Structure formats: structure tokens, C-alpha cells
Amino acid sequence: MFPSNPAPTRHNATRNEPARRWASVVGMSDEQRPTTSQGPQIRDPHAPVNLLRDFEPLDDLPGAPSTTGTAAGTSGNAGTTAGIPIGSTAAPRTPASYAPSASSPLRSLSDIADVADIDVSDTQDGLDISGTAGTAPVPGEARVDLRALDADGGRRGARRRRVDDDPLARRPRASSRVLCVVFGLLLVAAAFGVYWFGVHTETGQSFDDMVETYFAANVPGWFAGLLGAGSHVAVLVGSILFAAAAVVVAVVRRRWWLLGQLVAFGVLCFAASLLKDVLPRPFIIHTTIDAGNSAPSGHTILGVAAATALLFAVSRGWRWVAALVGGLWSVFVALSVVNGKWHRPSDALMAILLVGGVALFTLAFTRTSGMDATGKRRSSAGVQVVGSIAITGGAFACLYGAYVVWQVVPGLLMSAEWARSGAVAAAIILIAGATTLVFGLMLAMRQLTAAPLTKLGLVGAPPAPPKRR
């Protein structure tokens, strides 16, 4: 009386349309495709991508074997993976019990996972998609790593385990640490090269004596007045404020390893300031300033070290700002000690390079809380722009300053009046260029050691299409 297969109504056709689409993808008909009691699950196209959820249930795919208590072809659970509920105490399926066919969508799961960045702080907790948990890896295998879960089925243990398994989440890359050591050695070598030139050569002693004697008379009045504000008290108070801000930022951010780094860095810088009592200064020519050794400058070491500590302590978005502010403060302190005749220009230049070398050595020991939090690591346009310009501009300024010194060498030996302005200009260019170069290197190395690319992902889950407004 009635046909065995009545024509579907418009309502039924609309409701079954997602099921037909899925059946066409995996090669199954409507009769073969099992349905759940809740009807077909339609995924929101604007929701974030979740690889495991989007490919569930796994047992319904062609070639998948049946599991204990679940026959092949029965409905899958939205909260299960390979037939095992998340948080269940049942043993996971062994990798040998499943071999996906060549046409199975699971063949591309591992390829997608290699490209996508997995968000370890979201819905992936407690899941192991790497195929390496416990047994031999199987390409495309997606399963629950029950051993990674806490005793109460929580997810914190799984997250901690995955972070601990990734060495880049605990320390920078070996190449980054090697770069810090290499650049640190170069800066220290440059510092002692400046000391040798300024103290152990006739040209160097003549250059220092001429610059310190005629510095204030060969700079604009407003510039000399600005540098005159850099008194002992001003340098001390300003440096303390920089150092205190660095400590407060590290404590507020709960970066305890970083706080220890800052303490070690401060101790090393203080030890470097004591070199002036150890390094000799031979008598080569008669000078109008004190004949005793004053290299390196303790005031300059204090100012540069305090600014560097703040650069290390702040978060990613503020690093380039701290580098700019700290560099300006360091140049001000270094030129103030020369303008006030407290130190020779070679003393200030040696101090800047020494602090930079010690800072890079300290960055080589960056670990754990001294780095950016995993999952929040980002590249920084400010660091890239400021760091690149600072390194390039600082290097060229140092080369140009050395060229100006070479040009005025004949006048230095004769104390010629025409060489005074050139010597002062060369000292300003060298101090400003060395400071810019050092802070550019420290900025780049800080970003490189604090935010390395990790296997856990740099920016979290893959991006989803924009939501409609």
C-alpha cells in the first residue's frame, strides 16, 4: 500500500545533508554510515581547528578494527578517541592493532600535525598525537596517553610532561647560546683592545689627554650644560632606579631564574669595575690629567649595567623600548664622565664593551623562567627593526670614529689646535656607536634566547576563519 522507501521530505533532506557530505568524503553510503542518537554533528566553520575532535570517531573509518565492548560500525562518542573515553582507566589500543589504509584520512593526520602549531594550553591536554607515547611510533596514530594524566584525570600533568619533554621549552637552542658566547668574547676582546690602545700607546694617551682637556670647549653650550647635569648623585640615583625597576619587573612576572641571572650579572659587573685597581698604566708621555689608571670607568659600568638589567627583565613587547631608553641613558652617563673630567674616553668605551660582553655571557645561561612562557612566544617587529638598525648603525659609527682618530693622529703627537675638535668628535662618535652596537646585540640575543621556536608551537593552534559580525 505504501512504498518501501518513501521520498524524503524537505525537512529530512535538509537534516541528512551533512551526513551525505561526510559519506561522500570517506566513501560510504548513507546505509553504511552509522548515526548517533543526537543526529549528525555539524561543525561550526568559524570555530578554532582541533585536529583530534574533527577526525572523531576513529573507529567508524574503513579498515578500523573493533575494540573491546564496541563493535565496528557502532556509533562513536564525541568524547572518545579510538574507542577509549578520555580519562578512562581502560588500556589504550596498541599501535599494532591498527593499520590505516592508504586512502584513510588518518594518513594525512601526521602531515597536518607537522605543519600546524598545537595549542598546549587548550583542548589538547592529555592527548598524544605524536605517536611516540609508550610504544613504537605509528604514522598517523592518534591516541590518548593515559600515563600523562594526573591520578584524578586532570590535565596539568599532561601539559607539564609535554613541556618537560621538549628541551627548547626549558633552555634556548645551542646555537643561540654559542652566539652569545662568541659575541661576548668579541666584545671583551674589543674592550681590552681599547685599553691597550688608550693606555699602552703614545697615540692613545695623547688622544685621551686632548679629549678630556678640551671636551667642554669643543661642544655646543647646550650640550655641555646637559652633560653637566650628570653629577655623581644623578648617575647614582638614575642607575638605582633602572636596577630597582628591573628587579620589580622580574618579581612581578615571577621570573625567579631571571632574577638570579640579574644578581649574577650585577656581581660580575661590580668585579669588572675593580679592574682599575689591578690594570697597570705605564708612563709614556707627560699628560695634564692624572697619571694613574682609571680604566674601566666605574660610573659607566654602573649606568650601562642597570639599563641592561631592565632590558633583560621586561616582557617581549617592551624590549625594544627598554633598549632605546637604556642606550640613551648609557650614552649620557659615558659622555658625562668625560665632560666632568672624571674619566678618559677610553675608560668609558672600555666599560661599555665590558658590560656588553658580560651581559651576553649571562644570556648564554638563560633557562626556564628566564625565558618567555611557552605558547606565548612571538616574534617582535620592534626588536627586529630596532635591533637591526642599532647593530648596523653602531658598527658603521665605530668604523667612522676610528677613521676620524686615524685622521687626527699627526696632530695628536704635536698637540695641534686643529686636531682638538676632531678628537672630541671622534670620542663622541665612538662612545655613541659602541653603545648603540652593544644594546643592539643585547636586544637581539635577549629575544633569541627568550623565545626560541619549540616543537610545542610558537603561536598556538592554527588560525580559524574570521567570525561573522
Whether pLDDT at 282 is above 60: yes
Q: What is the CA radius of gyration of the chain?
A: 33
Calculate mean pLDDT across residues 197-218: 93
Which helix or strand (DSSP H or E) is residue 189 part of?
helix 174-200
Lowest mean pLDDT among 126-135, 250-259, 269-278: 126-135
pLDDT digits (tens, 9 = 90+) for 313-338: 999 999 999 999 999 999 999 999 99
* Cα dihedral 370, 373, 374, 380 sign: negative
User: CA geometry: angle at 206 spanning 202 and 207, to 5°?
Assistant: 115
Write out pLDDT tens, residues 22-74: 555 455 555 555 555 555 555 555 555 554 444 444 444 444 444 444 434 44
Q: How many CB atoms lie within 10 A of CB 247?
A: 16
**Residues in CB range of 393: below 8 A, 6 or more apart:** 433, 436, 440
C-alpha cell at 80: 572518545
The amino acid sitting at 179 is L
Sorted by sequence, the CB contacts under 8 Å of residue 253 that are 6+ apart come out as 313, 315
pLDDT of residue 431: 98
Which amino acid, residue 38? Answer: Q
Q: Which of 413, 431, 397, 414 is nearest to 204 (CA)?
A: 413
* Average pLDDT across the chain, whole number: 76
Angle at 359 between CA 356 and CA 363, to 5 degrees: 140
**The three grid cell numbers given for residue 166, joined into one nine-digit string:** 621538549
Q: Got the DSSP string for 58-88?
A: STTSTTPPPBTTB-TTSPPPTTEETTEETT-
> Residue 99 corresponds to which cell in the numbers above?
593499520
Q: Which amino acid is at 138?
A: V
